[in-house]
A = this chain, B = another copy of it.
Amino acid sequence: SRLRDHGVEVGVLRPGTLNTITDVPGVKVGQFTLNQGYDIRTGITAILPHSGNIFQEKVPAAIYVGNGFGKLAGYTQVKELGNLETPIILTNTLSVPTAVNAVIGYTLNQPENENVRSINAVVGETNDGYLNDIRGRHITEEHVLKAIENASTGPVSEGSVGAGTGTICFGFKGGIGTSSRVLPKQSGGYTVGVLVQTNFGGVLQVAGVEVGKKLGHYSDSFKYSPDGSCMMVVLTDAPLDSRNLERLAKRAMLGLSHTGGIASNGSGDYVIAVSTAEACRIPYESENPIQNVPTLRNEAMTPLFLATIEATEEAILNSLFAGETMIGRDGHKIEALPKEKVLEMLREAGKLDR
């Protein structure tokens, strides 16, 4: 069960049909989970902004660095050129290069790409090294390709799957989470979808209830795992240029903050934002040096900012609600969020009776 199934509404905007990133039309998610033996707890999550050849039909994009203690690949080119040309891949810290290699191979081998010699793969990561034998680098290029192949529209698995298999959030089992918001017609009717890979710390708040404080479940030293991190992917069908996508991406950090996240020193917090609007696609090659691009005006961004904040908060909470207790490397054990206790706290705070 997800948080919203219990009647808890995060924010004031309504979610899309599935309350997932795939509510944004055309978006696909694929995952590959590598949960083997005593100490392999890792995987891949792939997000495809559209079903075509992404290299040939690039999408406007931006990446915002909330806290740069991380190894995400592809940042500087997205910043410079304002676009994304590959699927977005999430995995563990030490498997980023393997995933980049896989995406390069995937792109080189696509029809029409026979003469391509330069590819900017965007691969994010968090460090699952507490539960996973990360030094073993068990992810292979085939695993990455399988995640891409698995990609589909529709429901998205949450919790300890794909890139979230071995992650930890606020000291509980984290993982993959997703959520969405749909703007009212008069605000454009756009959909914003968010997918997160949660592996960070702070003092947990659920819908404003101070769960971490009440449970005494936060670091006494006010420090947190140096290897924490949160990857946030924000997709929207609103027609945005890269400048406004960067502004949108920045707001995801405000959503993370709602859950009690603090972007601790060791947390690599990155937000990748993409517009899937068809009219904004950027062909790899074009005879016309000028492209007419529909662009949302600055002042129309505010409702999208709110949508991003709400969907990010709920996606993170969904990752926690989907988590299950896991034992991994060296017998390390991470408990799932004690959902019953949390729901009881929410009830006491008057959050369930809506």
Q: What 1/0 mask marks residues of chain A from 329 to 354 whose CB sits below 8 Å from any chain B CB? A: 00000000000000000001110000
Which chain A residues (192-215) contact chain B, with CB distance < 8 Å?
A: 202-203, 205, 207-210, 213
Q: Does A327 contact B (CB under 8 A)?
A: no
Asked if B305 and A263 sit within 8 Å, CB to CB, the answer is yes
Interface segment out of the listed A35-43, A62-70, A154-162, A317-325? A62-70
Q: For chain A, what secondary structure do more than half of its interface residues adopt (helix, strand, loop), or is it mixed?
A: mixed
How far is it, in angstroms, between the C-alpha of A297 and the C-alpha of B289 when the chains are bound? 5
Asked if B104 and A117 sit within 8 Å, CB to CB, the answer is no
Which chain A residues (285-317) contact chain B, with CB distance < 8 Å?
A: 286, 289-303, 305-306, 309
Contact of A134 among B117, B188, B298 (CB under 8 A): B117
Which chain A residues (223-266) contact chain B, with CB distance < 8 Å?
A: 223-224, 226-227, 239, 241-243, 247, 250-251, 253-258, 261-266
Interface segment out of the listed A22-30, A48-56, A73-81, A167-175? A73-81
Residue of B nearest to A290 (CB): B294
Residues of A whose CB lies within 8 Å of any CB of B are 11-13, 65-77, 79-82, 93-94, 96-98, 100-101, 104, 108, 116-121, 127, 129, 134-135, 137, 183-184, 186-188, 202-203, 205, 207-210, 213, 218, 221-224, 226-227, 239, 241-243, 247, 250-251, 253-258, 261-266, 268, 270, 282, 286, 289-303, 305-306, 309, 348-350
